[in-house]
């Protein structure tokens, strides 16, 4: 089983983060939620591996209750 990556795998993290935040500029909260949901679906499809996606979902949910 492929393990979820825990160390940095994004080549330019600051650039990525700035663009991620910029993506939401000028949107309402509702619009932002929609954009984020679409983004997750696109990335999940790109990733493909359901094992990895499950690990990611579990990790994301950790500590949120």
Partner 1 sequence: MDQFAYPKYRYRKPPELAGGAARTYPVAVVGAGPVGLTVAIDLARRGVPVTLLDAEDTVSEGSRAICWSKRTLEIWQRLGVAAPMMEKGITWNRGRVFHRAGPLYDFDLQPEGGQQFPAFINLQQYYVEAHLCAAAAATPGLDLRWRSRVTQVAPGADSVRVMVQTPDGTYPLDCAWLVAADGVRSTVRRALGLDFAGQVFEDRFLIADVRMKADFPTERWFWFDPPFHGGKSTLLHRQADDVWRIDFQLGWDADPEEERKPGRVIPRLRAMLGEKAAFELEWTSVYTFQCRRLERFRHGRVVFAGDSAHVVSPFGARGGNGGVQDADNLAWKLAAVLRGEAPEALVDSYDAERVKAADENLRNSTRSTDFITPKNAASQAFRDAVLSLARTHPFARALVNSGRLSLPAVEEPSPLHTPDLPGAFAPAMRPGSPAANAPLADGNHAVWLLDRLDGAGFAALCFVATDDDRARAAAALAAVPRAAAVTIAPNGVAGALRDAEGLAFRRYDARPGTVYLLRPDQHVAARWRRPDAPALAAALGRALGAR
CB of 21 to partner 1, least distance (A): 4
Among 1, 2, 3, 21, binds partner 1 (CB under 8 A): 21
Find the binder of partner 1 among 1, 2, 25, 46 (CB under 8 A).
25
Task: Report, in angstroms and rounded to the nearest whole number, the Rg of the chain calculated over CA atoms.
Answer: 14
Considering only residues 43 to 62 of the shown chain, the ones binding partner 1 according to CB under 8 A are 59
Query: Is residue 32 within the footprint of partner 1 (CB under 8 A)?
Result: yes
The rounded distance, in Å, linking the Cα atoms of 5 and 51 is: 12
Under a CB-based contact definition with an 8 Å cutoff, are residues 55 and 6 in contact? no
């Amino acid at each position: 089983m492929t393990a979820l990556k825990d160390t940095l795998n994004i080549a330019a993290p600051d650039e990525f983060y700035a663009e991620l935040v910029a993506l939401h500029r000028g949107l309402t909260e509702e619009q932002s939620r929609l954009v984020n949901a679409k983004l997750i679906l696109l990335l999940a499809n790109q990733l493909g591996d359901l094992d990895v996606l499950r690990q990611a979902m579990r990790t994301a949910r950790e500590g949120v209750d």
